[in-house]
Amino acid sequence: MACVLLFSRLHPFSHRLTRTSICLLSLFLSYLCYCALFPADTIMQKSGDPTPSCQRVVADGAKRRIQKTPSCVLPLDARPIIVEVSRLKSDQRPPSILHIDTPVLPWFGNKKLPNAIIVGVKKGGTRAVLEFIRIHPDVRAAGTETHFFDRNYDRGLEWYRGLMPRTLESQITMEKTPSYFVTKETPHRISAMSRDTKLIVVVRDPVTRAISDYTQTLTKSPDLPSFQDLAFRNQSLGIVDTSWNAIRIGLYALHLENWLRYFPLAQIHFVSGERLITDPAGELARVQDFLGLKRIVTDKHFYFNRTKGFPCLKKPESSGSPRCLGKSKGRTHVQIDRDAIEQLRDFYRPYNIKFYEMVGHDFKWE
């Protein structure tokens, strides 16, 4: 209204003004109107110093945010603050909502090198751990395996950084590439990037893991030799072929020795692939503790899918179906001769015992 009155007073003199002057005057009046309607202290905040009004708009409007996802307008150089539903106290949350995906908007945050990496092992349950932990609002993860430290190291750290999602200062950046654990050069390369990187290794009974590995490969190469032909140099004598990758991966103690040259044991967390199936919430609680996160991912997020024989994430209210891992997860293993299995258990036993002693935990694979 004030803008209209001011313009009416200036109108009698408008014939004396040039077109340029009129345009500049219009822009100036528009700016004054905008400032009057939208005070800066209600929509902007300085980095590290969020104003109470901005926080109040987000918190008080939490229920509306679920439908419209409003946010405070921030200056480009400010650190954005996004309050997610999963961070609200239980009495502030809408009913019947287990998890609301509130991704960081693409123009917020920065791409950072990872704070934590799931380094192994293949067919241990790494995809499940990543999918489960990334529903935590303080975790953002690269969606695909980057293979930077084993296949693409010559591309440089800036190329690697470019593969990471944008994260806020308070969030953890993660990636997972299971082949890292068995690649000799990887521990040194990750250490050169940052000695503070936290490492997660998902381990599983090496015999079961080898059979699962073979089953996956068989679906891609139906003409593959039998499991026994690949696993043994001489089965009658019980001589195992450790050059076969499916067997070599399960020598966890030997691979761990290489990692301990560059990282202390306290910086490596081991997830049990077996317990990840029977007690996913318990395993995720330990992962959250290791990463220094609040325990937000709990048993209310999971249900057991009897068809797949694997836990799945319960669906959020906004989704039409639960979130389960792909068809390749939880597939039925090929049948292997019982004698061959026992021979492999005898082969792995001393390596398993040494691994238990190194990490201070008995995974009970015998």
Radius of gyration of the chain (CA): 28
- What span, in angstroms and rounded, lies between the C-alpha atoms of 311 and 305? 6
Give one word for 37, left, alpha or beta, with left for phi > 0 and alpha for psi -120 to 50. alpha
Does residue 109 have a known ligand-binding role? no
Does residue 124 have a known ligand-binding role? yes
Does residue 248 have a known ligand-binding role? no
- Collapsing DSSP to helix, strand or coil, 127 comes out as helix
* Secondary element (H or E) of residue 26: helix 19-37
Does residue 15 have a known ligand-binding role? no
Strand partners, 176: 118
Does residue 329 have a known ligand-binding role? yes
Does residue 173 have a known ligand-binding role? no
* Dihedral sign (CA 183, 185, 188, 189): negative
Does residue 134 have a known ligand-binding role? no
- What span, in angstroms and rounded, lies between the C-alpha atoms of 352 and 331? 25
Does residue 126 have a known ligand-binding role? yes
315 is catalytic: no
Pairing of strands 166-167, 110-111: antiparallel
The H helix count followed by the E strand count for the chain is 15, 11
| C-alpha distances out from residue 221 to 225, 249, 359, Å | 10, 20, 36
Does residue 250 have a known ligand-binding role? no
Q: What is the DSSP letter of 12?
A: G
Peptide bond into 119 cis (omega under 30): no
Catalytic annotation, pick one of 122, 123, 176, 198? 123
- What span, in angstroms and rounded, lies between the C-alpha atoms of 261 and 259? 5
Cβ atoms 57, 72 nearer than 8 A = yes
Does residue 314 have a known ligand-binding role? no
Does residue 127 have a known ligand-binding role? yes
Does residue 212 have a known ligand-binding role? yes
Annotated binding-site positions: 123-127, 204, 212, 329-333
**Catalytic (active-site) positions:** 123
Annotated binding-site positions for 3'-phosphoadenylyl sulfate: 123-127, 204, 212, 329-333
